[in-house]
Each structure stands twice: as C-alpha cells, then as structure tokens.
Structure 1
C-alpha cells in the first residue's frame, strides 16, 4: 500500500513536515510495511518557505532587511536544494506582525524589505522565485519594492517619492532604466489566494486598509493614490492592472509584481502542488492524507486540503483530511474530493494545551484511522 502524506502546517503548533511525521508514525503502528511518501505542503501563506525547503531539501537564508516602518528586522527566505528556486514570504519583511497595533499606519508602511529579499535571492543566482504575498502591513502598491530593486519613482523635483502609500500622490514619472538587470533572467510566480482588484470598493485599500491601521479618511486617500499609480503604470509601462483579480493583494503588491516584474499570479496551493510534483506522487497511490489546523466552509476556496484532494480525485484516490478543529459547514469539503474528515482533538482542552499536544494528537488520531482501514480490509 502506497500512502502519500501531504498536510499543510498546523499553525502555531507544527510545521507541515512535523505534521507529516506524526501522521506517518500513527499509520506505521498499524501498517509498518506500507510505502510512505511525505510531501509537506502550503498554500502560499505562512509556512510556505519552510514547507518547500523541507520538500526540496533546501535551506533557510536569513538576512537583515528594512521592516514596514523602515526599522531593521531579521528577514528570511528559502532556497531549494538545487539552488534554482527561491521561496519568499513577503510577510517576513513587510508583514503586519512586524508592526505593533499602536504603530500600524498604511500611509507610511513600505514594501522595501520585500525588495531586499528579492534582491538577495537574484544575486545568489536563482532562476525562479515564488513569492507568497499574504499578511502584509503595507498599502504602497509595491512602490517600496520597486525602488529597492533600482526603479525610480520620481516626484516633480526628480527625487524618489517618500515611502508608503502616501508618497504615491507625489509621483510624476517612472524610470526603470536602472532596475536590476538580473531580474530579466528570473521567472517570478506569485502565490495569491485573493481576487481583490488594485482599486475600488473591493480593492486593496477598502478591503484591507482598516486592518492595517487605516482610518476611513486614510483608506479613501490610499485608494485614490493607487488609482493614480495605476494610471501612471498605464502611461509609462502600457500595462493596465487596476481591475485585474489579485492585483490588490498585499496592498497592491500583486499588481506591482505583474506590472514591473512580469510576474504570474496563481492560486497558492495549486502553485505549490505544481512545484513539488504532487500529481506525479499521487497518481499511483492507494491513499492520500492531508490536513491543516482548521477545516471549515472556507477551506474549499483554494486551501491546501482541497488542492490536494482535487489532484487525488483525478486519479480516483481516496483522501482523508485531519484538522485541529472542524467548524462551520466543514462538510462542504466532501463535494471537492475529500473522502473523510477527522478532528484530532479527543477532549475539551485549552488552546494552549491543544497546540502543545498537536504531534501526539495527530499520531493517536491517525493510528485510529489506520486501525479502521485495517478492520475494513479484513472484513472484505
């Protein structure tokens, strides 16, 4: 029996690889001679770097970068084992968690640090970059990133505009003549699981600006600034990103990556599945096990368990999903290739205890699942 184990991380409890190890340990108690193939997964959000580093036998690269407010922070990204792929989570340099609630202000936060991660990766000779763009503290339309990479976003005095979304109002010209030439040698893919446009009622500013510390007046200003930025991108680059789905992700960073770096936006889970060759691993499997910290009605919108299940469904391979919690109308996952769903919790407990016991709870749950499978086989 070949079993593919492809979970996402269990947030704040286990990495995807640790979760996969716990699943394997539980199943081996019942099926010690089965073939196990562990494929740590992610959907482009937190944990994507670690999952792909683990899957490709790569390494974590750390470096000091500028955080959202210009302060120095310890950033990181991953490099695959063959050195060809860099995996970046923009939140590692420009994330909301790097700014205390009292200091959050999308008028002044910048994506400069994300540019520093990209710069370091291309200078190391990678040929492909995957950028996960969830969890941002920024609303600058990716301006800081472009400036870091050598682009000139100039005001009427011929000076670089100031950091943050507020600076876009002073922009009068775009000059990419000094953009890092190595960018032309790299293919950039963006893991994006939202479809918000650059501007408008469902755009970057109105949907996400408030959680980044913006007031109603600031959010209105930021939306106008992004619309103006989009008009200059049309003028100077002949690209129209304003209403493209996903362009508004990470405060407009998605749009900047498309416009300035010719990046391709894709569903995060599908992109990671493609990079790790998940279909080739599942096609001849007898069983697939996936999971993540929580499964609910939103899981069907591109989360890891569904991306895994859709691939397995093509090959008629049953899929068992496990989760720390099952909430909402989680049964909707049955309509998308998941055969059965199990919670790993066996008793009421505090969240802190549940997180601490993640590995053991997964091991026990998957051993029980394996025992039921063994029983069903013996009765057939």
Structure 2
C-alpha cells in the first residue's frame, strides 16, 4: 500500500512537518510494510521552509540576522544549490512568534531581518528568490527589508529615516542609487494565500494590525502612514498596486516588492504543490491522508485538504482528512471520502492541543484499522 501524507499545520498545536510524521507513525502501527511518502503543506507563512526542506536537493542555511525589534537571532532558509534558488519566509526573522512574551511594538518593528536573509542568499549566488509572506509582526511595508538591501529613505528635511512602522508617514524621498545591484537580475516570487489590499477597511493595518499591537487609538496614524507610503511609491514608479489582491500581505511587503521589482505573486499552496509535483504523487498513491486544525465551511475556499481532495478526485485516489474538529464526516463532491476527528474521548480544546501529535497518530491508526477491516470484509465477499 502506498500512502501519501500531506497535512497542513494544526495551528497553535502541531506544525505540518510533525503532523506528517505523526500520521506516518500511526499508519505503520497497522500497516508496518506500507510505503509512506510525506509531503507537509504550507501557505507561504510559518512552516513553508521546513516543508520545502523535505524536498531532494534542499539545504538548510542558518545565519545570524535580526528579529523584528533589531535583536540578533539565528534564522534559517532553504537553499537549492543546483537551481540557485532560495526559499525564505518572513516569519523566520520578522514573525509574530519571535515576540512571544514581549510587548508588541508595531512602531519599532521592522522587516530588516528578512532583508538580511535575502542578502545572504544573494551572496550565495541566488538567481531566484521565493519569499513566503505570512505571520509577520510588522506594518513597515517592507521598508526595513529594503533598507537592508541598500535602499535609503529621507524625510522632508533630507535626514535619513530608518525603515520601521512608525516612520512610514515621515518618508518623503526614496533613494535607490545604493540598492544592491544583484536585485535587478534576480527573479522574485511572493508566495502567499492572503488576498487583502494594502489600505482600507480590509487592508494590512486595519485587519492584521491589532494582532501586531496596533491599538484603536493609533490605528488611524498607522493607516495614514501606509497611505502616504503608497502615494509616494506610486508617484515614483507610475503604478498604483495598493488595491491589488494580496498587496497587504506581511504588513505591506507584497505591495512594495511588486511595485519596485515587478515581483510575481502566487498562492503559497499552489506554488508548493506544483514545485513539489504533488499531483503526480497523489496519482501514484493508494490513499492520501491530509489534515488541519479545524475543518469547517471556510475550508472549501482554498484550504489545503479541499485542494488536495480536488486533485485526488481526478485520479480516483481516496482522501481522508484528520482534523481537530469538523462540521461534517465527508465531502465527496470535493474528493474527500472521510473526515476523522483526532479526539477519541471527551476533552477540552486546550488538552487536545497539548496532545496534538499523540492524537493525530492515534487517528491515523484508527483509519488504518478501519481500512484493514474493510479489506477483510471485501475478501470474505469475494470468497463467498
């Protein structure tokens, strides 16, 4: 039996890579000789690099950089030497989890650390950069990232302004003369499943700002800073992308990189599936196990399990979703044959999240046991 295991993360509980390992362990308890292939999924946010590092030819590169508040940290990205391609996620150096236990500070928070990761990749000869956008602690529109790559910002008095959230409204001039020249010869792809524009009620500040520390009292100030930045960049380049879907990703990084470098943008899940040849793997499999923390009505709109189910349906490959909670037990119209909750006894959400890996492994074992019973019944019918 060939089993493909391709879960998303169980948010706040188990990363996709560990969820995949737990599912594989559960399958082996029932089918020790089964051939399992692991393909952890991600959407461009946290976990994208770890998922890609499961691919052949990838190398983990760990370097010193800065966290959102400028403190030295180590962060990693994926490097493909043969393709001269780097896969970097903004969450690695500029992510919210790096400020756990800290007072969030959207004014001081900067994406400079992500820019330093990009600079390291350029030093290694990168010809293509894939930047996963998601989970940032910043609303600096990527100015910190740009600063790390040589771009300078000045206020109306001609003074240098650092790239961080509180300074967006002060920037009056953008100087690209000192920009790293290698950027002009580097292909850039932004991987993200967020469709928010840069500004407005659905924009980067008003939707995602509160989780980064933007309060109701300073919401308008940060929004006005983002608008001023968009006006300046649009005037300088002659193109205004602020209302384009996805421009608000990662606190506005997407808007700035698309405007300045014509960076391409694609769904993180779509990119991961295509580059990793996921559909080919699904077609070869006898069974696909996928999963996520909560499977609900929103899962129909581009979430990993439904995307996988739709691919599998074309090839007649059965799909089982393992999830923390679900509103249904199957979605045959979407190619999902069974939905298996991870809980096997009454428990609160906090307990389930703490025991996530164990519960995922047990759920996979239950699926295996059901398959074994089904196989025995089919064999008896054939003999009868």
CA shift for structure 1 position 106: 1.9
Match of 2:317 in 1: 317
Q: Which deviates more from structure 2 when the two are superposed, residues 95-104 or residues 212-221?
A: 95-104
Query: Helix, strand or coil for the counterpart of 1:291?
Result: strand
Q: Which of 357, 360, 377 matches 2:375?
A: 377
Q: Is the 8 A contact 2:192 2:268 kept in 1?
A: yes
Match of 1:21 in 2: 21
Change (3 A) 1:189 1:363: same
Pick closer, same or farther for the CA change 1:92–1:229 going to 2, 3 Å.
same
Residues 286-340 of structure 1: CA distance to partner in whole angstroms, max 9, x if unpaired?
22111133333333333322232222123232211112x114x456855533221
SS of the aligned residue for 2:274 comes to helix
- d(CA) in 2 for partners of 1:18, 1:33: 21
Partners of 1:321 and 1:311 lie apart in 2 by: 14
1:344 aligned to which of 325, 342, 351: 342
Q: CA deviation at 1:348?
A: 3.2
TM-score by length of 1: 0.89
Structure 2 match to 1:165: 165
Cα 1:113–1:373 change in 2 (3 A) is same
In structure 2, the CA distance between the partners of 1:121 and 1:331, relative to structure 1 (3 Å rule), is farther
Aligned in 2, Cα 1:238/1:73: closer, same or farther, shift over 3 Å? same
CA change 1:315–1:357 in 2 (3 A) is same
Alignment of 1:1-380 (within 5 A): 1-11=1-11, 14-56=14-56, 58-80=58-80, 82=82, 84-99=84-99, 103-323=103-323, 325-327=324-326, 329=327, 335-349=333-347, 354-355=352-353, 357-380=355-378
Note closer, same or farther for the CA distance 1:288–1:222 as it changes in structure 2 (3 Å cut). Answer: same
SS of 1:54's equivalent in the other structure is coil
1:72: Cα distance to partner? 2.2
Larger deviation, residues 146-155 vs 102-111: 102-111
Measured in 1, the distance between the counterparts of 2:47 and 2:34 equals: 28
When residues 18 and 139 of structure 1 are mapped into structure 2, their CA distance, relative to the original with a 3 A threshold, is closer
> What CA distance in whole angstroms lies between the structure 2 residues aligned with 1:333 and 1:265?
30
CA positional deviation for 1:105: 2.7
* 1:107–1:218 Cα contact (<8 Å) kept: no
Please list the CA deviations of residues 45-103 of structure 1 after superposition, one character each: whole Å capped at 9, or x if unmatched. Answer: 22111111123353332222222222223322222474633222212211223235663
- Answer with 198-207 or 118-127: which moved more: 118-127
Paired with 2:33 and 2:2, the residues of 1 have a C-alpha distance of: 10
Contact 2:128 2:187 in 1 (8 A): yes
Instruction: Kindly indicate whether the alpha-carbon contact (under 8 Å) linking 1:15 and 1:51 is maintained by their aligned counterparts in 2.
Output: no
Report if aligned partners of 2:60, 2:78 keep a CA contact under 8 Å in 1.
Answer: yes
Task: Give the distance between the partners of 1:81 and 1:369, measured in 2 at CA.
Answer: 39
Q: Is the 8 A contact 1:155 1:171 kept in 2?
A: yes
Give the match for residue 381 of structure 2: none
CA contact (8 A) 1:131 1:191 kept: yes
Higher deviation after alignment, 341-350 or 113-122: 341-350
Q: SS where residue 118 of structure 1 aligns?
A: helix
CA distance in 1, matches of 2:277, 2:111: 31
Give the 3 Å change call, closer, same or farther, for CA 287–240 of structure 1 in structure 2. same
* Deviations 1:207-237 (CA, angstroms, capped at 9, x unpaired): 1222222223422122122122112222212
Conserved? CA contact 2:329–2:340, under 8 Å: no
User: Alignment partner of 2:221: what SS?
Assistant: helix
Alpha-carbon separation, structure 1, partners of 2:367 and 2:355: 18
Cα RMSD, aligned residues only: 2.6
Query: Deviation per CA, 1:92-151, whole angstroms, max 9, x where unpaired?
Result: 211223235663232232111111111111211233322222111111111111111112
**Structure 1, 141-150 or 36-45: larger mean CA deviation:** 36-45
Give the 3-state SS of the residue equivalent to 2:212 in structure 1.
Answer: coil
